[in-house]
Structure 1
């Protein structure tokens, strides 16, 4: 295909996305299998869609690992799981003052959304009350949006979080339905969907994403994007597997930089109006091509992740400035 032909092909996909039409499976495959020589043309087409909905603004998010380790789940990617031998810190849910201190740090990092994340299959009522108490205080005193990620929820727990003022709840699908049994056996794909639906029913914004690089096929990557479009997730974190020693997926390797960019473009085309967040593992997979990710994604995490380190915060701020983009604060 000529350069002009490739440019027209990707621009047609962008126009289709802007009209609200969903890409076909074949078109999704084409994005993921695009020749690397066409990568800049593909990212330019994704940027056309991203710019339409989000201009040149970038949303920043900060995670606090509010409870570490001590998890009975067997998720193959996670250093905190019961099957992991990775040397991670283990501690119960952080107290209110520490959670409030984390919120102040989020503001210092220019993050508009503060993400309270706890390991485990789901919160106890005591843990949920602790989080709700901290959220109420943050809402009173700080200009932040609050996202909680506490695992599988009962209906009454979702209601209580919403009443406390949680804006958004994260519960990732992580992988495709077909690949799920190869990644975890202690809960199901359907349970993930059910929790996101409970979140939506109680008025919280649904956040749900994926981890790329866990043995899924290209078709399954497209199916993940379809599933999140169907779920109507407002925010979609795209993680790239960080193969942590001591986890079952320690030898899975990294997603190549060009493949990672194609995945981000795919999700922008299939979920055009949604917040696409380049998330965990971006430093490992994208490496020096991280700036290009923001031509498809409009959001990222600043600072460290749950048990792994992120890029230096000033470097992220500088990257955004050098692109001519703008940090959007206090945005959900």
Structure 2
């Protein structure tokens, strides 16, 4: 299957609406063309600066505008981050993602500390990803110089629905940060969240935006909303599981070389459901030693449970800095 950057809305919708088992089969076939289907990348997310964010993202426990269980905390000490990363590496984790509840990166002492963290964790032989909010081209270059492997900046949803969820920054701001990262050799991680009250058309529109980026994001996280008490979306209904599978499969088909990451919300999925996600093209998960992904309100399966699941399914953890590909075989989709 050729790699395209001109996917149209109607084409993506047609893929999404393919009869379910046929869709999973097509996605699995594409996955085997471009990836080693036996490997899953396991990632660890560290909240290096928790809470107190001035943004009004309607889903987020870390916004200072909502009364949630999350309390503002200072930037973690570098030694603490290194210790967490060492423990993660010992379990087979190959990527450490460091997240800060900032609207944007500022050129101050905290950014200098983050740069030091990036250097040291990279020096451990791990891929390092950061998600720090909006970023200038100069800041992206400094992160690249520190050894950063990836930068996460999700689109969250469609451009049309975006203002319903967030008013403190624009869709254009998000795309601008991605463009600033693209001026470096740092890879891009960008996806969205299911369950914000968006329509299927919004999901298709978001996928179209991602798939029309040239090149595609190297990582595409598919997050499932974790309803956080105290946020505007606390009473949102759960996303039906098969809609999650459809999103993963569609993303896999239209962005065949990208890693599709089964991210937030995975804790609510059974082993069988996760197996369907892997069959549909997901090849990355987040794991933890404390049963939380980013904050106390976002649960995450632990290392032991994930190792047991991978063993059961005959899957192995992908080493860092290793973009595994299967031998390309002709597949008609």
Normalising to structure 2: TM-score of the pair? 0.88
How far apart, CA to CA, are the structure 2 residues paired with 1:109 and 1:202?
A: 31
Render the CA deviation track for 1:299-329: whole Å, top value 9, x for unaligned: 1111231121211322212222222222102
RCO comparison, higher one (Cα < 8 Å, 6+): 2
TM-superposed deviation, 1:212: 1.0
SS of the residue aligned with 1:211?
strand
Are residue 311 (structure 1) and residue 301 (structure 2) matched? yes
How far apart, CA to CA, are the structure 1 residues paired with 2:74 and 2:16?
A: 41
TM-superposed deviation, 1:208: 0.7
**Structure 1 runs, 4 residues or longer, greater than 4 Å off:** 21-24, 285-288
Q: 1:317 to 1:224 in 2, by over 3 A?
A: same
The counterpart of 2:283, out of the listed 298, 301, 313, is 298
How far apart, CA to CA, are the structure 2 residues paired with 1:246 and 1:173?
A: 23
Are residue 119 (structure 1) and residue 101 (structure 2) matched? yes
| Corresponding residue of 2:331 | none
Q: Which moved more, 1:289-298 or 1:312-321?
A: 312-321
Q: Which protein has the bigger helix share? A: 1
TM-superposed deviation, 1:103: 1.3
The counterpart of 1:203, out of the listed 185, 191, 209, is 185
| Corresponding residue of 2:28 | 47
Render the CA deviation track for 1:193-244: whole Å, top value 9, x for unaligned: 1111111102211111101111222122111111112222111111011111
Unaligned runs of 5+ in 1: 1-17
The counterpart of 1:185, out of the listed 149, 163, 167, is 167
Count of aligned pairs: 311
How far apart, CA to CA, are the structure 1 residues paired with 2:172 and 2:29?
A: 34
What is the aligned-residue RMSD (CA, Å)?
1.7
The answer to whether the 8 Å contact 1:257/1:287 transfers is no
SS of the residue aligned with 1:294?
helix
The answer to whether the 8 Å contact 1:109/1:302 transfers is no
TM-superposed deviation, 1:25: 3.0
The counterpart of 1:108, out of the listed 69, 87, 90, is 90
Render the CA deviation track for 1:131-181: whole Å, top value 9, x for unaligned: 1112222233x1101111111012221111111111111111111101111
SS of the residue aligned with 2:180?
helix
